[in-house]
Structure 1
Amino acid sequence: MGLLGNNRVDRIEEAMKHFKITRTQLDALESYIARKYWVGKAVVNRLVETVLLAGRELDVNPVLILAVMSVESRFNPYAESGAGAQGLMQVMTRVHTDKFEALGQEDDAAFHPQHNVKVGAQILADCIRRRGSVTNGLKCYVGATGPNDGGYSTKVLAEQRRMALAAKIALPR
């Protein structure tokens, strides 16, 4: 592709338009995350941009992706669970090695924020598509096999609402 329409800024602005998010709303969302989770504003800015691009590519609400990250890791890119889930979105790397390999990544790629977000968002999008709704997709994402997910989907959706409210972003119904 040529220079037009291929650079990161153009793609971020396109994603903002797609999700009907203004620059003011994006700044408010970033400030909320930086304050609540004690993460530097520049780091949050880069994460939010990555989430916007992944959300646009996969047609998943970026505020939902950010809410999953908040519940899964509290925005700690080095988080690791006892079960082996890693990174911002707590991806089970041994289960999803194919997704990291498709990005040309191996080994500790789950701890690279951009790769973790891309793979985690891909898993989330797939879960939502397979289960037919965001709530059921979240149950799939957390690995719940029955109707009870231990309150996970309720936590994620509550944080999504808080983030949206703080930034005055309308959520899809």
Structure 2
Amino acid sequence: MFNVLRAFKSSMCEVLLFCLLAAVPALAQPPHLVIRDDHGGPLEAQLSRVETLRQEGRAVAIPEGRCLSACTLYLGLEETCVGKAAIFGFHGPTTQFGTIALPQAEFERLSALMARRYPEPLREWFLLSARFHTITYRYVTGEELIRLGVAECPDQID
């Protein structure tokens, strides 16, 4: 009788453990990291965050609002989608003071570093045009990015 109870208790524990472990990924994080009204920030910090998301295979959705400056680096992740009405503001690398130009070699190095994070043809457009906007943004809509090959977000984002 005790052997039957032990076997039953052991099987129930295994089933319970299996159910708990199966539920953990679903509870750990939502399917998309949803970005709305992100004004960017320091380039190095954003590059690090984007790389972490890449390693995690995390999907990013920018369905609406503004994604400015370093925020646009999310576009380089394979699982990023954008909404047609979202606004993206690109600019080239600058000093922390914004109005003081970087030395040319540093400007080129940081421009290339940023461009490598963008998908083609956005990469080429950034290098030929947007990076030269250093005091103002070069604004692009999500609709324009979708035409350039960035995935469109579904109507409903988690």
TM-score, L = length of structure 2: 0.25
Q: When the two structures are superposed, what TM-score results if normalisation uses the length of structure 1?
A: 0.24
- The structure richer in strand per residue is 2
**Larger of the two Rg values belongs to structure:** 2
Q: Which is richer in helix?
A: 1
